[in-house]
Structure 1
């Protein structure tokens, strides 16, 4: 599976999700390539980010020695949202994490799993399988006030050219 394929799929989901979709020119999806530069990457986008924002974090392609038939991509998918600590209430961190971010990222992962299972989404003709939610955790604060929820998932994609019809 190519990273551009996953990025394109998640961008489509972000554009169609009721909490993440944007009507302005702000960015609703970004990729953070590695943990060492996560804060730097998000800071670079700070002025163009819209809230909430879907984030693909640290995609790492792992070739399995156990099987010549598939590879596994381990990555995290998160939704971040800005919480105004000065104005407690609807925009406080707890609300942002559990009432906005967690449900949104669960919808995105649920859709990814459902469409993968039905073979609606493929990388070319290569089917994929969302293996599991390895772990979920709240994140923040980042960017001086953004909080969110992240799930680490594994996506298996088949290398067998005979999957093409």
Structure 2
């Protein structure tokens, strides 16, 4: 079984990415691992609530239940303190991820399909294909599914194309 690590924020866009990834996990018999890295010193802009592990875990559990109800996929959830850029590849190594999908609210290129080397100081030199989904460049939810399917097809998930885009 292959493992797909999806590093999310809690935006609607990231939730759609997670949902579509779960649908594709069902087709490829892959395991979906939702991952959230949080900075415990930050507050949410809406409520000024301290973002701590119980707060994040509650929202991640809610998202996982929603995804499971819609897709029947098994969803593993991981939460860790730290900056996304600093902990993602460490977590990916721990869960033996075969693919990483990172959701961002940035204006980076919408898709980056390249193996990513571990950060300095890491001993695991495994290259993990990484897909960066930047919300600012893909505001329409219908663009998500074909991008994910193409990436999974190119990454060797499944023996035949996962999705024919019409």
**Would you call these one fold, judging by a TM-score over 0.5?**
no
Normalised-by-shorter TM-score class: 0.3 to 0.5
Q: Greater share of helix residues, 1 or 2?
A: 2
Q: Bigger relative contact order, structure 1 or 2, given CA contacts below 8 A and separation 6+?
A: 2
Q: Could you say which structure has the higher strand fraction?
A: 1
Bigger Rg, which one: 1
Q: TM-score, normalised by structure 1?
A: 0.33
